[in-house]
Amino acid sequence: MLKVGIIGTGVIFDLNVLGYLNNKDVEITSLCNRTIDKAKAKIKKFNLHKDTRIYSDYKKMLDNEQLDLIEILLPHHLHADATIYAAKKGIKAISVQKPMALNLEQADEMIEECKKSQSILSIYENFMFAPHILKAKELLDADYIGDPSSIRIKTAMGATGGWKVPESANEWRKDPDMIGGTEKGSPVLLDNGWHAFVLASWFFGEEIEKVFAWTGNYKGLDAPAYVMFKYKQSREHVVPQYGHMEFSLMPEMQIPSKYYPTDEFIEIIASRGIMKINQGTSLGNLMSNSKIFAPIVIIRDGKVETYENFDNDWKNSFIGATKHLIDVAKGIKEPILSGEDAREILKFNLAAIKSTQISKEVVIDSFI
């Protein structure tokens, strides 16, 4: 049985923990939170073992516990230090929330330390495990709509809805060094946008060559935002591959989500068809019951096809991601997003943020 420790018991813990519950292969033996009472409340809420040990300092937890798997659910700027410390303790598998790190130097240190200790570094990305997203990837890999040529990812950000995020969680996001560096940073692109940057690379199976981005400034938020990019083309394609992302504001809209007031819509155009992927964060809200918003819609060979029989709740993407992580720790599977993979996403992300600062296209490899 794998012994699991979780660092951080904030709101995201409530989703990450679901894949461990009633799982005979794992046991959560310790939790860490600066506020002990919050960790105690989570033990009660999720009926964890009464002997689950609680720490206020993750270093003491890692010093005292014999753990196989550690989940790091901390703010971005604490990822590197916690990962490196866990690796030095020889933890078998280390899972880190998005984004991987604040900069490439931190990412390199994390990867290097994990290599030294032979720890598996896995970056947690639940979107890749949403059932309808997995099906879309399967169809693309099977060449069902031909060779993909462009992707558009639209993220709609509402004013209210979902969990109430503590103000303290937003405070550190106001520091440019904590949200992408450069002059102003970008909480929208580095934080919220990380999922879109991951999906853009993963769906097409190509790295990004160059990027141009622009962000607005609405009441202190760097939005609306727009990102255009070109793929490297490591193999031959029918037409050159491009993509773009939009982060749109809906300041008078309450998005009916149980989680966050955002939702995602993806369109992929390929050589023989078009795929529309509807809903991400808000999957399972009222729109999910509409034929217009079927999880996957494909236009191919003059016909419209819909794929609807999925578990319509965003929490399932977390359950799938956590179960995959357990298999990684057991040595059954490889991380779907390794440290090296996530470093490529971070390059893409930071290059986009740099582009917003200099108002120019950025060739990613030369920028790095």
| pLDDT, tens digit (0-9, with 9 covering 90-100), for 99-121 | 999 999 999 999 999 999 999 99
Assess if residue 257 is contained within a domain: yes
Q: Are residues 148 and 297 in the same domain?
A: yes
Name the percent of the chain in helix, strand, coil, to the closest 5: 40, 25, 35
What pLDDT shows up at residue 234? 85
The two structure tokens encoding residue 294: 């079927």
Do 73 and 94 lie in one domain? The reply is: yes
Output the pLDDT for position 166.
Answer: 63
Q: Is the pLDDT of residue 172 over 70?
A: no
Confidence (pLDDT) at 287 = 74
Residue 158 has pLDDT above 60, yes or no: yes
Same domain, 120 and 145: no
Terminal Cα-to-Cα distance of the chain (whole angstroms): 42
Is 231 part of a structural domain of the chain? yes
Give the pLDDT of residue 182.
59
Do the domain assignments include residue 15? yes
For residue 158, the surrounding DSSP H or E stretch is strand 148-160
Beta-strand relationship, 362-363 and 53-55: unpaired
**Bridge-partner residues for 148, per DSSP?**
270
The mean pLDDT value of the chain amounts to 90
Flag whether pLDDT at 123 surpasses 60: yes
Task: Evaluate whether residue 340 is within a structural domain.
Answer: no
- Distance from chain centroid for Cα 72: 13
Tell me: pLDDT of 6 over 90.
yes
Q: How far is CA 277 from the centre of its chain?
A: 17
Q: 79 and 184, same structural domain?
A: no
Q: Are residues 63 and 148 in the same domain?
A: no
Report pLDDT for 226.
96
**pLDDT confidence tier of residue 186, bands split at 50, 70 and 90:** confident
Rounded Cα gap, residues 117 and 85, in angstroms: 11
Residue 363 lies in a domain: no
The helix-helix angle for 131-141 and 194-204 (nearest 10°) equals 30
pLDDT score of 103: 92
Query: Same structural domain for residues 223 and 98?
Result: no
Q: What's the whole-model pTM score?
A: 0.92
Mean pLDDT of 160-185: 61
pLDDT at 292: 78
102 and 205 together in one domain: no
Any domain includes 294: yes
Cβ contact 229:244 at 8 Å:
yes
Claim to verify: residue 171 and residue 42 sit in the same structural domain = no
Range with lowest mean pLDDT among 65-74, 172-181, 282-291, 342-351: 172-181
* Structural domain for 180, as ranges: 127-311+349-355
In a domain, 367, yes or no: no
Ranking 52-66, 286-300, 319-333 by mean pLDDT, the lowest is 286-300
Q: Is the pLDDT of residue 175 over 90?
A: no
Q: How confident is the model at residue 98 (pLDDT cuts 50, 70, 90)?
A: very high
Question: Which tens digits make up the pLDDT trace of 198-255?
Answer: 999 999 999 999 999 999 888 777 889 999 999 998 888 889 999 999 999 888 877 7
Burial class (CB in 10 A: 0-12, 13-18, 19+), 3: middle
**What is the pLDDT at residue 279?**
84
Same domain membership, residue 262 and residue 145: yes
- Give the model's pLDDT for residue 290: 76
How many other CB atoms are there within 10 angstroms of residue 16's CB atom? Answer: 22
Q: Is residue 32 part of a domain?
A: yes
CATH of the domain at 164: 3.30.360.10
Distance in angstroms (rounded) separating the CA atoms of residues 313 and 296:
15
Are residues 157 and 290 both part of a single domain? yes
Q: Do 302 and 159 lie in a common domain? A: yes
Domain with 67 in it: what CATH number?
3.40.50.720
- How many Å apart are CA 289 and CA 292, to the nearest integer? 9
Q: Same domain for 95 and 143?
A: no
Range in 5-19, 286-300, 331-345 with the lowest mean pLDDT: 286-300
Number of domains comprising the chain:
2
Residue 159 has pLDDT above 70, yes or no: no
Q: What is the mean pLDDT of residues 84-89?
A: 98
